Amino acid sequence: MPGSEQTWVARVTPAAGCSVATLLGLPLGLDVWERQADALVVAAPESRLAELERRRLAHVERWGTPAQYQAGLRSRSADAPDDD
């Protein structure tokens, strides 16, 4: 959509004193793709990620747009040796 906000795939690591469970309990509107013991992989608009950083709830590592991230996964999958 023209004028819509950029969505990023990002690794969100809770700040000290915060946990993954705490982040999941907040009404942040994150599309969680993966839950790890110490972080979340999410797809979210830039404004939501910036709000996490502004509120010092988490460190955000932007990995790319959803299309870039999925293309990278496909590329790595194609390069992986077969387990035959």
Long-range contacts of 21-28 (CB under 8 A, 24+ apart): 23/57, 23/58, 26/57, 28/52
d(CA 30, CA 48): 8
Q: Where are the domains of the chain?
A: 7-79
At 20-39, the pLDDT tens digits run: 999 999 999 999 999 999 99
Whole-prediction pTM: 0.81
Determine the Cα angle at 20 with ends 4 and 68, to 5°.
40
Specify the CATH class of 7-79 in words.
Answer: alpha beta
pLDDT band at 1 (very low <50, low <70, confident <90, very high): very low
The tens digit of pLDDT for each residue in 48-72 reads 999 999 999 999 999 999 999 988 8
